[in-house]
Chain A
Amino acid sequence: MHTATAATHRAATSTDFLERLNTDHHETALRVFMVIVLGHWVEHLLQGLQIYVLGWPVPEARGALGLVFPWLIKSESLHYGYAVVMLIGLWMLRSGFTGKVDRFWWMTAFWIQFFHHIEHGLLQTQAILGHNLLGRPVPTSLVQLWVPRVELHLFYNTIVFIPMVIAMYYHLFPPPEENLERAPRCSCAVAA
Protein backbone atom coordinates (compact mmCIF):
# COMPACT_ATOMS: atom_id res chain seq x y z
CA MET A 1 0.00 0.00 0.00
CA HIS A 2 2.76 2.40 1.04
CA THR A 3 4.80 1.39 -1.99
CA ALA A 4 1.88 2.08 -4.31
CA THR A 5 1.32 5.47 -2.68
CA ALA A 6 5.00 6.41 -2.96
CA ALA A 7 5.09 5.34 -6.61
CA THR A 8 1.92 7.30 -7.35
CA HIS A 9 3.40 10.34 -5.60
CA ARG A 10 6.64 10.06 -7.60
CA ALA A 11 4.70 9.78 -10.87
CA ALA A 12 2.55 12.77 -9.95
CA THR A 13 5.62 14.85 -9.02
CA SER A 14 7.30 13.98 -12.31
CA THR A 15 4.14 14.86 -14.28
CA ASP A 16 3.92 18.10 -12.31
CA PHE A 17 7.52 18.95 -13.12
CA LEU A 18 7.05 18.30 -16.84
CA GLU A 19 3.80 20.26 -16.82
CA ARG A 20 5.48 23.30 -15.23
CA LEU A 21 8.46 22.95 -17.56
CA ASN A 22 6.15 23.15 -20.54
CA THR A 23 3.99 25.98 -19.26
CA ASP A 24 5.26 28.58 -16.74
CA HIS A 25 8.93 27.69 -17.21
CA HIS A 26 8.97 26.83 -20.91
CA GLU A 27 10.52 30.15 -21.92
CA THR A 28 13.34 29.83 -19.36
CA ALA A 29 13.90 26.16 -20.15
CA LEU A 30 14.16 26.90 -23.88
CA ARG A 31 16.64 29.70 -23.19
CA VAL A 32 18.81 27.39 -21.06
CA PHE A 33 18.56 24.64 -23.68
CA MET A 34 19.55 27.11 -26.40
CA VAL A 35 22.62 28.23 -24.42
CA ILE A 36 23.74 24.58 -24.20
CA VAL A 37 23.09 24.01 -27.91
CA LEU A 38 24.88 27.20 -28.96
CA GLY A 39 27.84 26.38 -26.68
CA HIS A 40 28.16 23.07 -28.49
CA TRP A 41 27.90 24.85 -31.84
CA VAL A 42 30.72 27.23 -30.90
CA GLU A 43 32.95 24.20 -30.31
CA HIS A 44 32.14 22.72 -33.74
CA LEU A 45 32.52 26.04 -35.56
CA LEU A 46 35.84 26.66 -33.81
CA GLN A 47 36.99 23.20 -34.81
CA GLY A 48 36.03 24.03 -38.41
CA LEU A 49 38.04 27.27 -38.24
CA GLN A 50 41.05 25.50 -36.73
CA ILE A 51 41.11 22.98 -39.59
CA TYR A 52 39.88 24.97 -42.57
CA VAL A 53 41.45 28.37 -41.85
CA LEU A 54 44.35 27.82 -39.46
CA GLY A 55 45.38 24.57 -41.14
CA TRP A 56 45.69 22.61 -37.88
CA PRO A 57 45.92 18.81 -38.24
CA VAL A 58 42.48 17.25 -37.64
CA PRO A 59 43.47 15.42 -34.40
CA GLU A 60 44.84 18.70 -32.98
CA ALA A 61 41.68 20.69 -33.81
CA ARG A 62 39.68 20.20 -30.65
CA GLY A 63 37.68 23.44 -30.38
CA ALA A 64 38.11 25.63 -27.26
CA LEU A 65 37.38 23.14 -24.48
CA GLY A 66 39.71 20.62 -26.09
CA LEU A 67 42.61 23.05 -25.95
CA VAL A 68 42.31 23.22 -22.17
CA PHE A 69 41.13 19.63 -21.58
CA PRO A 70 42.35 17.50 -24.53
CA TRP A 71 41.28 14.23 -22.83
CA LEU A 72 37.73 15.56 -22.55
CA ILE A 73 37.26 15.99 -26.30
CA LYS A 74 38.99 12.70 -27.10
CA SER A 75 36.56 10.87 -24.82
CA GLU A 76 33.52 9.45 -26.61
CA SER A 77 31.57 9.81 -23.32
CA LEU A 78 31.45 13.59 -23.66
CA HIS A 79 30.06 13.38 -27.19
CA TYR A 80 27.59 10.68 -26.24
CA GLY A 81 26.57 12.61 -23.11
CA TYR A 82 25.84 15.70 -25.15
CA ALA A 83 23.80 13.66 -27.67
CA VAL A 84 21.72 12.28 -24.77
CA VAL A 85 21.24 15.73 -23.22
CA MET A 86 20.00 17.01 -26.59
CA LEU A 87 17.64 14.08 -26.97
CA ILE A 88 16.24 14.48 -23.44
CA GLY A 89 15.87 18.25 -23.88
CA LEU A 90 14.02 17.89 -27.17
CA TRP A 91 11.72 15.26 -25.65
CA MET A 92 11.02 17.02 -22.36
CA LEU A 93 10.23 20.39 -23.94
CA ARG A 94 8.06 19.04 -26.75
CA SER A 95 4.61 19.44 -25.20
CA GLY A 96 5.14 23.20 -24.82
CA PHE A 97 5.02 23.33 -28.61
CA THR A 98 1.26 23.34 -28.90
CA GLY A 99 0.88 24.52 -32.50
CA LYS A 100 0.78 22.15 -35.45
CA VAL A 101 3.70 23.76 -37.27
CA ASP A 102 6.07 24.34 -34.34
CA ARG A 103 5.43 20.82 -32.98
CA PHE A 104 6.11 19.29 -36.42
CA TRP A 105 9.50 20.97 -36.74
CA TRP A 106 10.46 20.31 -33.10
CA MET A 107 9.68 16.61 -33.47
CA THR A 108 11.57 16.51 -36.79
CA ALA A 109 14.62 17.76 -34.87
CA PHE A 110 13.95 15.13 -32.19
CA TRP A 111 13.87 12.21 -34.65
CA ILE A 112 17.00 13.36 -36.47
CA GLN A 113 18.73 13.74 -33.10
CA PHE A 114 17.52 10.25 -32.22
CA PHE A 115 19.49 8.85 -35.17
CA HIS A 116 22.47 11.10 -34.36
CA HIS A 117 22.39 9.71 -30.81
CA ILE A 118 22.39 6.12 -32.14
CA GLU A 119 25.53 6.98 -34.11
CA HIS A 120 27.17 8.34 -30.92
CA GLY A 121 25.94 5.27 -29.06
CA LEU A 122 27.83 3.09 -31.55
CA LEU A 123 30.98 5.16 -31.04
CA GLN A 124 30.61 4.95 -27.26
CA THR A 125 30.07 1.18 -27.39
CA GLN A 126 33.24 0.71 -29.45
CA ALA A 127 35.21 2.89 -27.03
CA ILE A 128 33.95 0.81 -24.08
CA LEU A 129 34.53 -2.58 -25.75
CA GLY A 130 37.88 -1.58 -27.23
CA HIS A 131 36.85 -3.06 -30.58
CA ASN A 132 36.15 -0.77 -33.49
CA LEU A 133 33.68 -1.28 -36.32
CA LEU A 134 35.18 -3.33 -39.19
CA GLY A 135 38.62 -3.22 -37.55
CA ARG A 136 38.97 0.53 -38.04
CA PRO A 137 41.79 2.22 -36.06
CA VAL A 138 39.33 4.56 -34.28
CA PRO A 139 35.68 4.22 -33.17
CA THR A 140 33.59 4.65 -36.32
CA SER A 141 29.87 5.25 -36.73
CA LEU A 142 27.81 3.85 -39.60
CA VAL A 143 27.73 6.92 -41.83
CA GLN A 144 31.36 7.62 -40.89
CA LEU A 145 32.24 4.58 -43.01
CA TRP A 146 31.73 6.95 -45.96
CA VAL A 147 31.93 10.48 -44.57
CA PRO A 148 34.86 11.95 -42.55
CA ARG A 149 33.95 12.64 -38.90
CA VAL A 150 34.40 16.43 -38.78
CA GLU A 151 32.22 17.10 -41.82
CA LEU A 152 29.70 14.44 -40.78
CA HIS A 153 29.10 15.97 -37.36
CA LEU A 154 28.95 19.48 -38.79
CA PHE A 155 26.20 18.05 -41.00
CA TYR A 156 24.39 16.22 -38.17
CA ASN A 157 24.40 19.28 -35.93
CA THR A 158 23.07 21.42 -38.77
CA ILE A 159 20.21 19.12 -39.70
CA VAL A 160 19.15 18.88 -36.05
CA PHE A 161 19.52 22.59 -35.36
CA ILE A 162 17.73 23.91 -38.46
CA PRO A 163 14.35 22.25 -37.68
CA MET A 164 14.81 23.34 -34.03
CA VAL A 165 15.28 26.93 -35.14
CA ILE A 166 12.26 26.79 -37.44
CA ALA A 167 10.19 25.28 -34.59
CA MET A 168 11.30 28.04 -32.24
CA TYR A 169 10.54 30.70 -34.81
CA TYR A 170 6.94 29.47 -35.19
CA HIS A 171 6.72 29.05 -31.42
CA LEU A 172 7.77 32.65 -30.86
CA PHE A 173 5.76 34.01 -33.80
CA PRO A 174 2.83 31.61 -34.19
CA PRO A 175 0.87 31.93 -37.45
CA PRO A 176 -2.54 33.53 -36.71
CA GLU A 177 -4.50 30.38 -37.63
CA GLU A 178 -2.48 28.37 -35.05
CA ASN A 179 -3.60 30.65 -32.24
CA LEU A 180 -7.24 30.01 -33.05
CA GLU A 181 -6.83 26.24 -32.96
CA ARG A 182 -4.74 25.73 -29.82
CA ALA A 183 -3.77 28.50 -27.45
CA PRO A 184 -0.12 28.47 -26.35
CA ARG A 185 0.33 27.42 -22.70
CA CYS A 186 3.60 29.27 -22.18
CA SER A 187 4.90 32.82 -22.30
CA CYS A 188 7.27 32.25 -25.22
CA ALA A 189 5.20 33.85 -28.00
CA VAL A 190 6.16 37.42 -28.84
CA ALA A 191 3.07 39.63 -28.94
CA ALA A 192 2.45 41.06 -32.41
Chain B
Amino acid sequence: MAISGFVAVLLTIVALGWTWTARHQPPPLRAASHVVLTIAALAGVFALAKIWRDGARAR
Protein backbone atom coordinates (compact mmCIF):
# COMPACT_ATOMS: atom_id res chain seq x y z
CA MET B 1 0.00 0.00 0.00
CA ALA B 2 2.80 2.41 0.94
CA ILE B 3 4.59 1.45 -2.26
CA SER B 4 1.49 2.20 -4.33
CA GLY B 5 1.22 5.59 -2.62
CA PHE B 6 4.84 6.35 -3.36
CA VAL B 7 4.49 5.34 -7.02
CA ALA B 8 1.36 7.52 -7.31
CA VAL B 9 3.36 10.52 -6.00
CA LEU B 10 6.23 9.65 -8.33
CA LEU B 11 3.93 9.44 -11.37
CA THR B 12 2.37 12.79 -10.46
CA ILE B 13 5.78 14.48 -10.23
CA VAL B 14 6.87 12.85 -13.49
CA ALA B 15 3.70 14.06 -15.24
CA LEU B 16 4.22 17.58 -13.88
CA GLY B 17 7.87 17.41 -14.90
CA TRP B 18 6.95 16.25 -18.39
CA THR B 19 4.59 19.22 -18.86
CA TRP B 20 7.03 21.75 -17.36
CA THR B 21 10.03 20.56 -19.40
CA ALA B 22 7.88 20.64 -22.58
CA ARG B 23 7.23 24.33 -21.96
CA HIS B 24 10.53 25.51 -20.49
CA GLN B 25 13.40 23.51 -21.97
CA PRO B 26 14.91 23.79 -25.46
CA PRO B 27 14.18 20.79 -27.76
CA PRO B 28 17.35 18.67 -27.19
CA LEU B 29 17.15 19.02 -23.39
CA ARG B 30 13.40 18.49 -23.45
CA ALA B 31 13.78 15.24 -25.39
CA ALA B 32 16.45 13.99 -22.94
CA SER B 33 14.29 14.96 -19.95
CA HIS B 34 11.31 13.18 -21.46
CA VAL B 35 13.35 10.01 -21.97
CA VAL B 36 14.53 9.85 -18.35
CA LEU B 37 11.14 10.87 -16.92
CA THR B 38 9.45 8.17 -19.00
CA ILE B 39 11.90 5.51 -17.80
CA ALA B 40 11.31 6.65 -14.20
CA ALA B 41 7.54 6.34 -14.68
CA LEU B 42 7.89 2.92 -16.30
CA ALA B 43 10.11 1.75 -13.43
CA GLY B 44 7.39 2.80 -10.98
CA VAL B 45 4.68 1.01 -12.95
CA PHE B 46 6.91 -2.07 -13.26
CA ALA B 47 7.38 -2.19 -9.47
CA LEU B 48 3.64 -1.87 -8.89
CA ALA B 49 2.81 -4.55 -11.46
CA LYS B 50 5.39 -6.95 -10.05
CA ILE B 51 4.37 -6.49 -6.44
CA TRP B 52 0.62 -6.57 -7.05
CA ARG B 53 0.87 -9.60 -9.35
CA ASP B 54 3.07 -11.61 -6.97
CA GLY B 55 1.01 -10.46 -4.00
CA ALA B 56 -2.16 -11.72 -5.66
CA ARG B 57 -0.46 -15.02 -6.52
CA ALA B 58 0.63 -15.48 -2.88
CA ARG B 59 -2.92 -14.87 -1.67
Contacts and interface: CB of A to CB of B under 8 A. Distances in A.
Contacts of A146: 28, 32
A45 B50 contact: no
B43 A173 contact: no
A53 B40 contact: no
Interface residues of B, number: 30
Nearest to A159: B43
Given A147-B36, A148-B33, A158-B43, A52 B19 contact: yes
- Interface of A, secondary structure class, is helix
Given A53-B16, A173-B58, A154 B40 contact: yes
B43 A48 contact: no
Given A148-B25, A162-B47, A52 B16 contact: yes
A169 B3 contact: yes
A29 interface: no
Contacts of B6: 165
A45 B5 CA distance: 13
Given A159-B43, A169-B3, A151 B58 contact: no
A168 to B, nearest CB: 9
Interface of A: 45, 48-49, 51-53, 146-148, 151-152, 154-155, 158-159, 162, 165-166, 169-170, 173, 175-176, 192
